[in-house]
Structure 1
Amino acid sequence: MKLQLTMLVCALTLTGCADRAARERLGIEDISVLRTGIGATQDEPAGAANSQWVNAYAPIANSRTAMASLQERLDRAPGSSNSYFRAKAQCWLDAAQQARQAHDQWGFVEEAIGQAATITIGVERGTPLSAANPALRTVSTVRPDLWAIVNAIKADPAVAQCPQAQLPLACAEVELMQAGHDAWIRSFASAEKRLPEVKDKLRKSAETAVQCKQATSASVPVPASALPAKAPQTITLRTDSLFRFNDASILPRGQHQLDGVVSDLKSAAAIHALQVTGYADRLGGAAHNQWLSTQRAQTVERYLRAQGVTLPITARGRGSANQRVECHQSRQDALVRCLAPNRRVEIKLVGVAS
């Protein structure tokens, strides 16, 4: 009977009997995933489906039919099959198929189909697509160090000119998201099993980009005038001037600030890409702060796109990471004011060369 009760507790709490060592190696920062035992929450910040999620994915009534239809559309879509977004859409479809075959009932199948559909429609219509990986309900961030490598490869100018390097990069991102889903359902060992393949794809992407860069440098000399005069710079905008507190809708004065950024971009020479990163303060739960910071970064990206910015943009949220100030006021209003510098959006201007 004791054994049966132990198994029951494990089943109910998900993380009670998980591989703790694997969990620690994954570098998970999501508090809701790290919390274990009977007291682990199952509320919306912890990943419970809300009405918005249900409404978004309710149309996917038959995942098998939806995947088959998307596969046909992706195969017929115009443009080169050796492109970053075509590869990413295909990898999302493959991820959905794997999860479906594994009888995953947590919602990842629908989210993977949703990602594949968004990219496929964009490819069909020829509309600009974001290379950012959105925050998904059933995915937690694992191995932040590997995500840092992903972003470094994305930011390298050689990758944008080398389709062969983009294909393994796109699939590495999707597989790292799959590992994040494994972690979200507390299957930490399964998450770790995906990492060698992720690392191999990232290594292949980086090595291929270097080869492309060397080939280009050997055949086309770069004039000195084409190089940037200084290293990439970062524009830091306080979110209190861009957004209302705990909100992601841009204020009029925030629009004015971003209009200034757009104007500066038009006159800036040799800017190859933008990295938009949102940050939150330490108040609130980790899952909420991650969601809020990601929403703010993506809102800024959409605004820049609407104003005619065509540069590649990577938008991501870092939650309450990299806090600039430490505050310990006892009064809530004073604490919120003191923490304001931590609530920010950084726009990094990536030059053609550093």
Structure 2
Amino acid sequence: MKFPLTTLVCALALTGCADHAARERLGIEDPSVLKTGLGATQNEAAGAANPQWINTYASIKGTRAMLASLQARLDQVSGEKTDYFHAKAQCWIDAARQARDAHDDWGFVEEAIGQAAMITMSLERGTPISAVNPTLRTVSTVRPDLWNIVNAIKADSAVVHCPQAQPPLACAEVELMQAGHDAWTRGFSNAEKRLPEVRENLRKSAETALQCKQAGQMSVSALAAASPQKITLRADSLFRFDGSDTAAILPGGKLRLNAVAIDLKKVPATRELKITGYTDRLGGDAYNRRLSLLRARTIEQYLRTRGVTLPIIVQGQGSANQRVDCRQTKRDELVRCLAPNRRVEIDLADAAS
């Protein structure tokens, strides 16, 4: 059943629980977790480590150093730092740190590091990432009603077009997984303590998505009624480093372009687009002009495949029209400073007569 965002916002504001034991309130369905007292076991069926788990996670040693390295890599990944997958990787890192500091030796630290590493590597390579939450050995499902709300929010198209709604949703999913780990270790009261933050993040995500839907945030159709306007897309958020073809478009870039395409299809046919690619000043002029043109052409092709039929003019201006002037001597710092210059601009104007 699909729930409207208004219904979800109202539901998440209600926190009343039946007066039962914490374990019952969590809605746990896993019989191995429900079994307590004499005869309760931690065999493989109940989640004990098996050879597959050991082969996957045994290589994770020195978790403190590994988390520091993973954080540094995530910080260096190009693209928006607040999109769904960046936020989810960060929340998995935070979850691993929290479990490690609590001296949790059940295997959740390794699993959380594994999830963060998988997402970070995909962001680095620009490869597709699944938004489906994994089945982990040390996590049982708790509060199926909240998971239903998670899935309902994720299924709403407003969330795709509303970047601000994505981080709280991603973190709510990780927090629910943490609560599931608490339950798996029979820490039912600890699991319950996480739920207010889960509900708050879900409420924030649903409410923000609803506001985006109502306001028509960044709606190109609204801009079309005014004078010619411009949409600026950061190249670092769209493409892998030095990438320019469709395969180099980052997952977050596809989400942004999908939203742009949906709005552009509402623009009157008498309008036209001019897509212009720009680079920073690093590199040769010929290379920069070619890279900027290829990126602009790729975006044109991507929008066409999403049903945009407006007339489009494509050009690459290389390092022309720099937005910022940077003088850092360290290359990494210079590259970060020059990021606003690496961009693609979409100008919306009346068609030429």
Does the alignment reach a TM-score above 0.5?
A: yes
Q: Specify the alignment match of 2:111 in structure 1.
A: 111
Q: Specify the alignment match of 2:152 in structure 1.
A: 152
Q: Specify the alignment match of 1:192 in structure 2.
A: 192
Matches within 5 A, 1:178-217: 178-216=178-216
Q: 1:218, 1:89 → 2: CA distance?
A: 26
Q: TM-score, normalised by structure 1?
A: 0.56
Q: 2:97, 2:73 → 1: CA distance?
A: 16
Q: Specify the alignment match of 1:98 in structure 2.
A: 98
Q: Which runs of 4+ in 1 moved over 2 A?
A: 217-222
Q: Specify the alignment match of 2:71 in structure 1.
A: 71
Q: 1:112, 1:188 → 2: CA distance?
A: 20
Matches within 5 A, 1:226-305: none
User: Which secondary structure does the structure 2 equivalent of 1:139 belong to?
Assistant: coil
Q: 2:219, 2:183 → 1: CA distance?
A: 46
Write the deviation string for residues 271-294 of structure 1: whole angstroms up to 9, x where unpaired: xxxxxxxxxxxxxxxxxxxxxxxx
Q: Which amino acid aligns with 2:213?
A: K
Higher Cα Rg, which structure: 2
User: Which secondary structure does the structure 2 equivalent of 1:136 belong to?
Assistant: coil
Q: Specify the alignment match of 1:141 in structure 2.
A: 141
Q: 2:219, 2:199 → 1: CA distance?
A: 30
Write the deviation string for residues 25-59 of structure 1: whole angstroms up to 9, x where unpaired: 00000010001122112211101000110111111
Q: 1:128, 1:93 → 2: CA distance?
A: 20
Q: 1:218, 1:167 → 2: CA distance?
A: 19
User: Which secondary structure does the structure 2 equivalent of 1:69 belong to?
Assistant: helix
Q: Which amino acid aligns with 1:64?
A: R
Q: Specify the alignment match of 1:61 in structure 2.
A: 61
Q: 2:128, 2:217 → 1: CA distance?
A: 29
Write the deviation string for residues 202-258 of structure 1: whole angstroms up to 9, x where unpaired: 000000001111121895569xxxxxxxxxxxxxxxxxxxxxxxxxxxxxxxxxxxx
Q: 2:221, 2:77 → 1: CA distance?
A: 35
User: Which secondary structure does the structure 1 equivalent of 2:21 belong to?
Assistant: helix
Q: Specify the alignment match of 1:127 in structure 2.
A: 127
Write the deviation string for residues 98-126 of structure 1: whole angstroms up to 9, x where unpaired: 00000000000000000000000000001
Q: Specify the alignment match of 2:165 in structure 1.
A: 165
Q: 1:220, 1:212 → 2: CA distance?
A: 14
Q: Which amino acid aligns with 1:122?
A: S
Q: 1:41, 1:103 → 2: CA distance?
A: 22
Q: 2:90, 2:218 → 1: CA distance?
A: 33
Structure 1 residue 69 displacement after superposition:
0.6
Q: 1:66, 1:128 → 2: CA distance?
A: 24
Structure 1 pair 72–29 and aligned structure 2 pair: CA distance change class (3 A): same
Q: Specify the alignment match of 2:83 in structure 1.
A: 83
Q: 1:85, 1:182 → 2: CA distance?
A: 24
Q: 1:217, 1:81 → 2: CA distance?
A: 19
Q: Which amino acid aligns with 2:51?
A: S
Q: Which amino acid aligns with 1:126?
A: G
Q: Which amino acid aligns with 2:37?
A: G
Matches within 5 A, 1:20-59: 21-59=21-59
Structure 1 residue 78 displacement after superposition:
1.2
Q: 1:58, 1:217 → 2: CA distance?
A: 46
Q: Which amino acid aligns with 1:30?
A: D
Q: Unaligned 5+ residue runs, structure 2?
A: 1-18, 223-261, 263-304, 307-353
Aligned pair count?
A: 207
Q: Specify the alignment match of 1:229 in structure 2.
A: none
User: Which secondary structure does the structure 1 equivalent of 2:128 belong to?
Assistant: coil
Q: Which amino acid aligns with 1:66?
A: M
CA RMSD of aligned residues (A): 2.1
